[in-house]
Structure 1
Amino acid sequence: MSTSSGWPSMPALDAPRRKRRGWLILALLAVVTLGAGAAWWQSKATPIIASANGTMAAVDDSLARAPSDSRVRVRVLNASGTRGYARRATIELRDRGFDVVEYDTERGKPRNGTLIVSHTGHRDWADRLQRAFGTGAIEERPDSLRYVDLTIFVGRDWKPSTETLRP
């Protein structure tokens, strides 16, 4: 087989084989697109579940948020012995409407359980913080000299969300 130019020409693919390859590529693209869409939809439809095992409550739970008509000032102290828990807790509590005005590390022996201390007598705010945090015992320690309403000592029982941190 040669052309008028003297060079041999490539044999043409037969049409049925070309059609099959086109359908195969189209089917593969459809499967990839549907799989990616299903994975995205699943990730958007699965909120963080509220539980007593130390994980944060679902974001859409209205009782796991600070009341919208009040400013709830919170001090977060990492008493777990695990580096970075105060910052992570601060970010998650701010996402739920709490005004975290200070976060730091509690010196001393690590605490196994989380403790929420109410300084201003607002037990309902402490209950909301406990629900948002997913764990913690509540104590009343009135202190009018404090500039915060609640102090939370983050213990080893708290598990931060698995979402990546924002910068």
Structure 2
Amino acid sequence: MRKLLKVILPPLIGFAVYFIAIRYSSVYFTLRIDEMGEGTITAFMAYYRYFLPLLFTVAVLTQLLIVVPIWDRVFLKSTTGKFISSLILCLICILFAAGISYTIWDKQSGVDHVIKVGLFMTAVQLVYWAVNLFVLYLLTKKPEQAAEVTE
């Protein structure tokens, strides 16, 4: 049961945070599918609104196949190992944000626009992963707790 919670609950909470932020924004009911790809916050909100089921499915599969196995190995590591793993996660977020930003960048809008989109996408990913890892931390039994339960 705990493994199922580790797979479903972190993405569910992370997506719920974004859903609430988008759903209760003033522009929610004016979002249109043709706004996607413009590289604006409204375009990101429209993408999120229309592709939520697909994005959630990908998040759950990522959680199941990649995040939980890595988490189970990293959680028992030293503080240095956890710190290095966190830095690697931040680097991956920055690289993905740069890739996404470059892909949707219209060269006529200038370099300033791609930098803003990159920073925004990095912030979105880092908030999602912070929530995700915090929930995983709460769901994981610490080695000393596991020893007490088995005694």
TM-score range, shorter chain: under 0.3
More strand per residue: 1
TM-score when normalising by structure 2: 0.24
More helix per residue: 2
The structure with higher relative contact order (CA 8 Å, sep 6+) is 2
TM-score when normalising by structure 1: 0.23
